[in-house]
Structure 1
Amino acid sequence: MSNGLATFADLNAVATHLREKLAEKKYVLLFAYNGTGKTRLSMEFKNLGKRDTPRDTLYFNAFTEDLFHWDNDLESDSNRELRLNTSSSFFDGLLGTAIDAKIRDLLHRHVDFDFKIMEKEIEIKEGDRTVKQTVTYVSFEREVIVDGQPQTVDNIKISRGEENIFLWCFFLAAARMALDKEPGSPYDWVKFIYIDDPISSLDDNYAIAVANQLGQLLKDSNGDVRTVISSHHALFFNVIFNELKKALKYMLCSHDGRASYSLKDTTDTPYFHHVAVLKLLDKAAKRNELYTYHFGMLRNLMEKAASFHGFNNLSDFIKRDGDNGPDGVLHHRIIQLLNHGGYSHFEPQEMMAENKQHFKNILNKFMGDYEFNPVLFPELTEEASHG
């Protein structure tokens, strides 16, 4: 890999390269914009594992989400259920392993509903015949207060965001079994876990919680399962980037011509995804939608930039106007104080007005000193800035 850049003719070659790198490292992180080929790369990686063995990769991507679909009970509008496509090998041996308890342990950190995994027999018309079929489904319920008393409402339809969190926790429970190599586990064949965009349609607060939860799960594992995580989501990638400090980190790009794809090593330098993080911070500042975790993101970004520009530490980088410069000293102390304790993973707090102004001052000075392309940071329209 010359100058941290490797080029490839196709995604199969990229997948082969990642497998070679995973012989040396436990984790690989990929940042790539939508349309680059992230999901197709995950399938190429999976298919390589079927050449010599039946399979070796447990994967989460858009195809995993397609294994679940809603039956909304259009006739009576009362029994809404999420059905599982149990003909998929993903579910082989899984449903007899108390998987619901494992899912619930992960899910209740994010949402307030509960669920049951159930089976029933249904009748399906096939021409002139009626065929009986057993289906597996998930029924959701939520406790509500009615006249001051708690009541459980069954067979509810959860929101799209809640559904995404449920599907993610379902997969994560299976991944935990693969990582832990539990005796009799249906996932004892897993050598690799490949996760592509687990939070593609979730808001930023969920992105932080999901990335932190995933990072902790991987770090707590002592097994030899290797993991690839790809995402276009700047905030999610920034958190998982910090959680898995020893991971290999790349930017995946697609190109026209003979070298169709490239991987840029971003492990030690501020590159590509850091610009995406800066765009996210700039947008949050302009909308005045600033949370305490944004200070952690800004600090990480500035530390990478300080290293890139040859400064010994973050303090020297911020205090460019001299050791006694009041703005530099103040900004450094603010970043140190407000970043203390890391991200607010599960209960993000909005900044106080004074801290919002400090954040904007630090961000604006950073962007002014290092002259990023202004085209990347458009002014918000009146409509966008108010809703």
Structure 2
Amino acid sequence: MSATKYYHYKTFREMVVRLRDDLNNHDFVLLYAYNGTGKTRLSMEFKDYAKTRKKNPGADTLYFNAYTEDLFSWDNDLDNDTERVLKINAESKFFSGLKDLALEERIFAYLERYASFDFKIDYDKWNVIFSKEVKNPNYKNPDSGEPELIKIDHIKVSRGEENIFIWCLFLAICELVIEGHESYNWVKNIYIDDPISSLDDNNAIAVASDLAHLIKKAKDKVNVVISSHHALFFNVMSNELRQHKTAKHFLHKNGEEGHTIRATDDTPFFHHVAILSELKQVVDSGKINTYHFNMLRSVLEKTATFFGYDDFSKCIYGVDDDVLFARALNLLSHGKYSIYEPKEMGDDNKDLFRRIFNAFYDKYQFELPELLIEQSVAEVATEK
């Protein structure tokens, strides 16, 4: 087995240089990182890089991330509460071909796979009007006896439904990019960050499969980078693109010292293993913060789900002090501990954390990757 490659970066710009270099030698780039690592900031730095470079400055990246949702806002018709619409920021280059190319059919072709509502785009007012068929309890079909379906316009869709609509609109625009439409001939890169933040696992698989099918058409036409915190989505994408030259990385935050990118080779990288690896290192270093109890509880929950247990405590059943450990995890993982404002544990809780972690780790014998290594063996990429 070849040695795993690690790359340390102090700035997002240095990572962007690395990712853009990867795109020169690969069809696609997949990036896995759990929430709070900086994926969204990295995607924005990737987008902004082209605008500030010395040679041929200008926008070259169509992106989907948390900021994409900000291009839409609700008008809830506060006066009458009847004509609720989703407003589109028509000034954004994101929508440069929307009006002329009439994307409704393309959007709906994706939307009907994930949702049951309909929509209409008012290009004069730059609004989206959502509608849905509902049962009319006051009238039943005389033949079937079933309630009649009536269409209700100007409905307020849920946050998840809104997100999936925006995602389907983005996919329709990606089709135009791949097909070479003039309105999007400025796009050289597509950067997608976490398209499935509010989807269940079944839809996550469907979204990943649909996306993979689409971007395979992009090969040799436009570069594609995809980042996600969702392990299942990442693994499905890895498998779907296994026949293509795909650079796959795990992005890890090194505290205040920047980030490390670790090549995952041909093996999909699992979220809970990444977290467990980090916890192993904080146990070894002694720098254990209060929020690490939440992270450990998360790993046990995922392990319990894998084994079909109805409670995470069964993952440590039979070890010494298993009842104490379960109670401690229940209590100490309920605090609102932020990874952005870390607070170190007291010595007693550190000792308790070590005992729980070691009992769990010894019981299941996970094979963990080394995410943090000495700088002397790391390859440091710098922008020339």
TM-score tier after normalising by the smaller chain length: 0.5 to 0.7
Tell me which amino acid in the other structure corresponds to 2:98: L
Partner of residue 138, structure 1 = 128
- 1:285 deviates by 3.9
8 Å contact kept, 2:235–2:269: no
- 1:243 deviates by 1.1
Structure 2 SS opposite 1:66: helix
Structure 1 SS opposite 2:20: helix
- 1:254 deviates by 1.7
Partner of residue 205, structure 1 = 202
Distance 1:220 1:283 in 2: 39
How far does the alpha carbon of each residue in 1:355-378 deviate from its partner, in whole angstroms, 9 at most, with x for none? xxxxxxxxxxxx99961289xxxx
Partner of residue 98, structure 1 = 102
Q: CA RMSD in A?
A: 2.7
Partner of residue 32, structure 1 = 33
- 1:94 deviates by 2.3
How far does the alpha carbon of each residue in 1:307-362 deviate from its partner, in whole angstroms, 9 at most, with x for none? xxxxxxxxxxxxxxxxxxxxxxxxxxxxxxxxxxxxxxxxxxxxxxxxxxxxxxxx
- 1:281 deviates by 5.3
Distance 1:138 1:37 in 2: 31
Instruction: Compute the TM-score of the two structures, normalised by the length of structure 2.
Output: 0.67
8 Å contact kept, 2:231–2:269: no
Partner of residue 185, structure 2 = 188
8 Å contact kept, 1:11–1:44: yes
Q: Give the alignment partner of residue 77 of structure 1, picking from 67, 70, 81.
A: 81
- 1:209 deviates by 1.2
Q: Give the alignment partner of residue 371 of structure 1, picking from 332, 354, 365.
A: 365
Partner of residue 282, structure 1 = 303
Distance 1:209 1:3 in 2: 31
Equivalent residue pairs, number: 280
Distance 2:115 2:269 in 1: 35
Gaps of 5+ in 1: 121-134, 290-366, 375-387
Tell me which amino acid in the other structure corresponds to 2:126: T
Partner of residue 350, structure 1 = none
Partner of residue 111, structure 2 = 107
Structure 1 SS opposite 2:82: coil
Tell me which amino acid in the other structure corresponds to 1:85: N
Partner of residue 15, structure 2 = 14
- 1:9 deviates by 1.9
Distance 1:368 1:108 in 2: 47
Partner of residue 171, structure 1 = 170
Percent of paired sites with the same residue: 47
- 1:274 deviates by 6.8
Distance 2:134 2:220 in 1: 42
Distance 1:370 1:119 in 2: 58
- 1:53 deviates by 3.3
Q: Give the alignment partner of residue 239 of structure 2, picking from 207, 229, 242.
A: 242
| Cα separation, partners in 2 of 1:13 and 1:276, compared to 1, 3 Å | closer
Partner of residue 160, structure 1 = 159
8 Å contact kept, 2:209–2:240: yes
After TM superposition, the runs of 4+ consecutive aligned structure 1 residues lying more than 3 A away are 220-223, 269-274, 276-281, 285-289, 367-370
8 Å contact kept, 1:67–1:85: yes
- 1:237 deviates by 1.1
Partner of residue 262, structure 2 = 264
- 1:87 deviates by 1.4
Are 1:48 and 2:83 an aligned pair? no
Distance 1:369 1:286 in 2: 14
Structure 2 SS opposite 1:49: helix
Instruction: Compute the TM-score of the two structures, normalised by the length of structure 1.
Output: 0.67
| Cα separation, partners in 2 of 1:178 and 1:283, compared to 1, 3 Å | farther
- 1:172 deviates by 1.0
